[in-house]
């Protein structure tokens, strides 16, 4: 059975060979980019917050930070200072988020948190995803998808670009056809903006983390922003058609074993050493083979 996610789709469309290394051979760089770690870390904490709710959820999420600290230390991939700074920042981010949305969240009834869905595309290909949160709007009874996003900044065209966001069209498909909320077409984009701080000369990572944590609490009305966007049924179903076409294409590549590199792409990617030197060369020392096919469907410490 072939399983694809939004991330796997993006990887294949970017480069067939990249998809091969990442999803067929399951190679991952030994140390993932920090923004991947931060994104997954925060998603896990917000999942805990909403699973338990209100002050209990906040307390459980803070316990989760301590748990993840131990998990990250055991990996040996990050320095103790990097991990400590991440935990300090996370506490500030979580506190600011809770204070920002505690009253507003009373408008919604939570239905699903961090739910993984599976949507068949054909007899041997499925589409998978992990929803951040599905809620019922108590003002009108509508089912709404709430998706957390971390952003370095809100550029002038940020919200307009989300109309073309394929990720949440896929999640709406999952909500409609795999979970059963057939009328759900609205997404609340729940954006967490990173404070625009640079590390000062001689400043430790811990000190920068403290400044960042303080900003998340102090400037929470600017750094935590939400906006609802409703998609047309046509847009959602068109994405399903794209996924079904991709399923047919992937089946052929798996059967034939042909995965071509993107020859016209001049920029290097994380898997360039494997393409250049081969799987059995020195390049493999930069990578590990992961157990899971789709890391985004599991937690930071799973």
What domains, with CATH codes, occur in the chain? 2-250 (3.90.320)
The Cβ of residue 259 has, within 10 Å, a number of other Cβ atoms equal to 17
β-pairing verdict for 186-193 and 108-120: unpaired
List 4's β-bridge partners, or say none: 127
Q: What is the mean pLDDT of the chain?
A: 90
Three-class SS state of 42: helix
Residues 143, 286: Cα–Cα separation, whole Å: 44
Residues 246, 269: Cα–Cα separation, whole Å: 22
Which tens digits make up the pLDDT trace of 84-131? Answer: 999 999 999 999 999 999 999 999 999 999 999 999 999 899 999 999
Q: Region 198-206: what's the mean pLDDT? A: 91
β-pairing verdict for 186-193 and 143-151: parallel
E strand or H helix at 144: strand 143-151
The total number of residues shown for the chain amounts to 302
The residue whose two tokens read 């709430």 is 146
Q: Region 18-43: what's the mean pLDDT? A: 87
β-pairing verdict for 2-4 and 125-137: parallel
Residues 72, 45: Cα–Cα separation, whole Å: 15
> Contact at 8 Å (CB) between 274 and 24?
no
Residue 195 pLDDT exceeds 70: yes
Of 82, 87, 102, which Cα lies nearest the Cα of 34?
82
Structure tokens at 78: 């990050």
Residues 13, 16: Cα–Cα separation, whole Å: 7
User: pTM for the full model?
Assistant: 0.89
The Cβ of residue 106 has, within 10 Å, a number of other Cβ atoms equal to 10
The residue whose two tokens read 């709404």 is 144
* Vertex 172: Cα angle to 42 and 188 (nearest 5): 50
pLDDT at 301: 43
Point out the least confidently predicted range of 127-131, 234-238, 270-274: 270-274
> Contact at 8 Å (CB) between 291 and 35?
no
């Amino acid at each position: 059975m072939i399983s694809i996610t939004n991330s796997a789709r993006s990887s294949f469309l970017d480069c067939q060979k990249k998809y091969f290394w990442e999803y067929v051979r399951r190679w991952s760089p030994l140390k993932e980019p920090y923004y991947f770690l931060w994104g997954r870390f925060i998603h896990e904490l917000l999942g805990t917050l909403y699973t338990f709710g209100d002050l209990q959820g906040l307390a459980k999420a803070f316990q989760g930070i301590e748990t993840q600290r131990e998990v990250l230390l055991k990996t040996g991939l990050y320095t103790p200072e990097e991990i400590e700074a991440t935990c300090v920042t996370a506490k500030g981010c979580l506190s600011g988020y809770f204070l920002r949305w505690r009253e507003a969240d009373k408008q919604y009834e939570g239905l699903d948190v961090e739910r993984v869905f599976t949507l068949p595309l054909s007899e041997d290909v499925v589409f998978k995803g992990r929803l951040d949160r599905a809620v019922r709007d108590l003002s009108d009874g509508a089912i709404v998808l709430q998706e957390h996003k971390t952003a370095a900044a809100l550029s002038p065209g940020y919200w307009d670009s989300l109309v073309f966001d394929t990720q949440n069209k896929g999640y709406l498909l999952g909500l409609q056809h795999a979970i059963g909320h057939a009328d759900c077409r609205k997404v609340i984009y729940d954006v967490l903006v990173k404070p625009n701080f640079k590390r000062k000369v001689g400043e430790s990572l811990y000190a920068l983390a403290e400044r960042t944590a303080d900003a998340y609490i102090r400037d929470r009305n600017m750094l935590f922003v939400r906006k609802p966007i409703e998609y047309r049924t046509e847009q959602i179903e068109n994405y399903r058609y794209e996924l079904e076409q991709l399923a047919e294409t992937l089946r052929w590549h798996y059967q034939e074993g042909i995965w071509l590199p993107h020859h016209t792409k001049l920029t290097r990617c994380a898997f360039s050493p494997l393409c250049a030197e081969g799987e059995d060369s020195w390049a493999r020392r930069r990578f590990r083979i992961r157990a899971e096919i789709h890391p985004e469907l599991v937690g930071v410490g799973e």
